[in-house]
Amino acid sequence: MKQGCTLGLMLVCAAGMATQALAQSVNVSNDQPIGDFEQPEFRELTVDVDSGFVGITGAPSGARDLQVPIWEEVVEVGDAEWVRLRFSDVMLAKSDEHVRESYLRITSLQDGHEQYLDAKSLQEWGDSTAYFNGGAVKVEIMASPNATHQVNRVRVTGVQVSAPIVGPRSICGSVDDRELSYDNRDARLMPIGCTAWLFSDHGSRMLTAAHCGPAGGDVIQFNVPLSSSGGSTQNPPPQDQYPVDNSSVQDSIGGIFIGNDWAYFGVFDNSNTGMSPGQSYGVHHTLATTGVSADSRPIRITGYGSTSSPVPASWYLVQKTHVGPLTYRSGNTIRYSTDTTGGNSGSAILDENNQTVLGIHTNAGCNTSGGNQGTYIFNNDLQNALANPQGICLPRNIQASLVSEPTHVQPEGGDEVVLVIDNLQGHTVVGAPKFIVNATDGTSFEQDMVDNGDGTYTGTFSSYYCGSNVSYSFEIEDEEGTIVTLPATGSYTTVALDELTISMEDDFEENQGWLSYTTGGSGSFIRAIPNGYGLGDPDNDSDGSGACYVTSNTAGIDVDNGSVFLASPLIDLTDIEEPVLRLSAWMTGSGPDSMKIQFSSNAGISYTTVMSITSTGGEWDELSFNLTDYVPLNNVFQLRVQVTDAGADTTVEGGIDGFKVSSEVCDDARCSADMNGDGVLDFFDVSEFLSAFNAMDAAGDFNGDGNHDFFDVSEFLAAFTAGCP
């Protein structure tokens, strides 16, 4: 199914027009705080373009077909020279052994440049796009045509667009001597309109001025083209744009002033190429390791400064460079007679003689005399930040991913999982990655994966008792002894079944319509990446996706003197056979505190409590329910989770993750007494059953009633005596 139309938008300005131009101050004393900085003019506009829930019907035959457009829309702002979209409520189908992951494709109608955003890169880009030239872009949902059991959705809620601008300048002497330059060590920081630059061989580490305020949602641009003839900025292709990692940002401590105006941050890998800027361009600046005096050595400043007549308007906010003498160095302040203007803020102060960076350009101060100025690279706080990187700036480890996460594996074993080394980050893999598996039937093993010779490794699932939950993870060791785990926290999960049909699945990475509410007291269910604040709340999710529902995610707050509720959207049970509900639960409480699992078959008019939990012992507990035992199979089923602080002076925290409703089929023809799955009933099956029974493993609960007792032994002996079909 493909839907499409063109939408000409008459947009309302939501945030007003930003009236400031470029980041740079003039003629301030050495101890004067820096303020009143200017930035390029732009508008934030509101819009509501919603694909709705887009599914696929009439899928063609064939496994893992390439993604095709299933919905498209053109977003257009008639008077804009560039646009950037903002999203909310995005749902993208996940990959499995039959389906490729869905993604968004955004295309400029002016120059045809494209950006590809999957769930991971959308998070890194802060639910926004790169900057696109022209006033119109096409948004498409790209999905596998055989992804019939999943839905997709995208909603465009905002557009950032250009406005014509003219910026100030500060020039040493009467003539602007800057020339166009093309150095991929230096980049433009948008939307503020500053300069930032790469350093070290890490590939993602950058420096700029603190007053440029780098933060999540900002974008670094390389290979910036000339501006329009009227001076409006133009943008490079999306493969030359990188989102700032907010968790990496460190900046001036104790206030911003000349000599203390620095910011250290990193950018995520590009969503189109999967590479860091350092990998893409192969260049970076080198920081000075020894100090200098004011000896008139040549200083080069390269950056994205503004222009005014007689300099062409098309040079506005594009890369330009100039060399002038070093005139002053005292304490943390360094000055030089090198031409700069607003937009050069953040530029590298480059010693032209030995090509090392002496500081960060921050301020004007140069007219016919004096000098422009910046922060010396040996500022103690800056050096401390450089020695203690955060976020993406941390030393980069090997990056890996899975080709697909199996929705289920066959009980007899033999299913394979393929690990892909996405980026070695300059490391080498030592030995073979480890494939680690633990199942609820007691099966546990660690396997050396098979090297396929192309950067991929294959692991093989063993046999499991049908219906068993199977958790698995991976370990990769590099030459430094660092062990990278995948997923970073928790484990992947699947289930051993002959057949699986999924009615609804939610890892809570996106909002699928759950409702949270409270009845008195404090705390509430929120969808978040858990932080683990030490009140018995989880410090990671259960399924490794990152997010889950937790009862508050704030230090010092738990559920107090009341109940909090989380209700699922309505679920249709009429099209699946013998549905099973699975979820992961976390509960911290004592005494009369409780987490109640409740079912409704009348759209939430009334609920029946099917389980009550006081504590899961500081870990995620995997729960499963055969829904035919509890409710009629209609189209208005609803789950509700109620967490209650009963009033005593106790700590109460709850969490929910890994929700799924599916039809789980185990072939009755399988010989249940063949415990080791070798096709033969013999002593080894009896031995394996007795071992599981004595260890109280799930495989020893032969009749599945949750108890290990005489009835399990009796049923196993009956099945063993009856033989295999």
Q: Would you say residue 4 has pLDDT above 60?
A: no
**Residue 453 pLDDT exceeds 90:** yes
Could you tell me which residue, 16 or 643, shows the higher pLDDT?
643
Whole-number pLDDT of residue 171: 62
Is 627 part of any domain?
Answer: yes
CA–CA gap between residue 644 and residue 624 (Å, rounded): 21
What's the CA angle centered on 49, arms 45 and 51, to 5 degrees?
Answer: 155
Range 461-483 average pLDDT: 92
Which of 135-139, 207-211, 519-523 bottoms out in mean pLDDT, i.e. has the lowest? Answer: 519-523
Mean pLDDT score, 594-607 = 95
Q: What pLDDT does 65 receive?
A: 64
Which pLDDT band holds residue 145 (cuts at 50, 70, 90)?
confident
Residue 582 domain-assigned (yes or no): yes
Is residue 586 within 8 A of residue 621, CB to CB? The reply is yes
| Beta-ladder partners of 485 | 475
Q: Name the average pLDDT for the chain.
A: 86
Cβ atoms of 416 and 494 within 8 Å: the answer is no
Asked, for residue 82, whether it belongs to a domain, the answer is yes
Task: Give the pLDDT of residue 167.
Answer: 37
Whether 35 has a pLDDT exceeding 50, the answer reads no
Contacts of 411 (CB under 8 A, 6+ apart): 463, 464, 465, 466, 468, 496, 497, 498, 666, 670, 677
Q: Is residue 24 one of the residues assigned to a domain?
A: no
84 and 130 together in one domain: yes
Neighbour-count burial for 544-560, b at 16+ CB within 10 Å, e otherwise: bbbbbbbbbbeeebbbb
Q: How far is the C-alpha of 624 from the C-alpha of 582, rounded, in Å?
A: 4
pLDDT digits (tens, 9 = 90+) for 650-669: 889 999 999 999 988 887 55
| Structural domain range at position 463 | 412-496
Q: Which pLDDT does position 368 carry in this prediction? A: 54
Same domain, 329 and 476: no
Same-domain pairing of 114 and 187: no
**H/E/C letters for each residue in 377-390?**
CCCHHHHHHHHCCC
CATH of the domain at 451: 2.60.40.10
Give me the helices (H) in 239-322, please: 277-281
Closest by CA to 104, choosing from 125, 121, 118, 124, is 118
Is 623 within the bounds of a domain?
Answer: yes
Average pLDDT estimate for 350-358: 96
pLDDT classification of 670: cutoffs 50, 70, 90: low
- The domain tally of the chain equals 5
- Residues 233, 380: one domain? yes
Beta bridge partners, 471, equal 438, 493
Instruction: Indicate if 155 and 212 belong to the same structural domain.
Output: no
Predicted pLDDT of residue 563:
92
Q: Residue 55 pLDDT > 70, yes or no?
A: yes
Strand 399-402 with 562-567, pairing: unpaired
CA angle 276, 227, 8 (to 5 degrees): 90
Residue 603 has pLDDT above 50, yes or no: yes
Tens of pLDDT, residue by residue over 266-323, are 999 999 998 999 999 999 999 999 999 999 999 999 999 988 778 888 999 999 999 9
pLDDT in tens, 232-242: 899 999 999 99
When mean pLDDT is compared across 15-29, 331-345, 417-431, the lowest value belongs to: 15-29
Could you tell me if 52 and 87 lie in one domain?
A: yes
Residue % of the chain over a pLDDT of 90: 57
**Is 30 part of any domain?**
no
Look at residue 476 and tell me if it is in a domain.
yes
Q: Are 383 and 460 members of one domain? A: no
Buried b (16+ CB within 10 A) or exposed e, 78-104: eebbbbbbbbeebbbbbbbbbbbbbbb
Identify the residue with better confidence: 260 or 712: 260
> Is the CB of residue 476 less than 8 Å from the CB of residue 433?
yes
Q: Are residues 512 and 560 in the same domain?
A: yes
pLDDT of 8 reads: 38
Last residue of a domain, one of 348, 365, 393: 393
Residues 273 and 330 in one domain: yes
For the domain that residue 211 is a member of, what is the CATH number?
2.40.10.10
CATH code of residue 661? 2.60.120.260
Instruction: Summarize the confidence of residues 332-360 as an average pLDDT.
Output: 94
Q: Alpha carbon 311 to chain centroid distance?
A: 42
Percent pLDDT > 70 in the chain is 89
SS (H, E, C) 28-66: CCCCCECCCCCCCCEEEEEEEEECCCECCCCCCCCCCCC
Question: Closest Cα partner for 265 from 204, 332, 211, 183?
Answer: 204
End-to-end CA distance of the chain: 45
Q: Do 180 and 314 touch, CB atoms closer than 8 A?
A: no
In which band, very low, low, confident or very high, does the pLDDT at 98 lie, cut at 50, 70 and 90? confident
Closest CA to 207 of 384, 396, 397, 357: 357
User: Which one, of 577, 644, 632, 573, lies nearest residue 608 by Cα?
Assistant: 632
Q: Pick the closest to residue 96 from 153, 154, 150 (CA basis).
A: 150
pLDDT of residue 684: 87
Indicate the residue among 462, 496, 530 that finishes a domain.
496
591 and 606 together in one domain? yes
**Per-residue pLDDT band at 174 (split at 50, 70, 90):** low
Point out the least confidently predicted range of 61-70, 300-309, 573-582.
61-70
Residues 157 and 185 in one domain: no
Instruction: Identify the pLDDT of residue 370.
Output: 61
Provide the pLDDT confidence category of residue 369 given band limits of 50, 70 and 90: low
- Domain endpoint, select from 496, 520, 551: 496
Question: Is the per-residue pLDDT at 97 higher than 50?
Answer: yes
Hey, what amino acid is at 183?
A: D
pLDDT band at 19 (very low <50, low <70, confident <90, very high): very low
Q: Is residue 18 part of a domain?
A: no
Of 35 and 75, the structure prediction assigns the larger pLDDT to 75
pLDDT digits (tens, 9 = 90+) for 419-441: 999 888 878 999 999 999 999 88
Residue 38, pLDDT score: 45
Give me the CATH number covering residue 76: 2.60.120
Task: Looking at the structure, tell me whether residues 379 and 420 fall in a common domain.
Answer: no
Give pLDDT, residue 25.
33
Residue bearing tokens 């980069």: 396
Sheet strands (E) in 529-593: 548-551, 562-567, 579-588
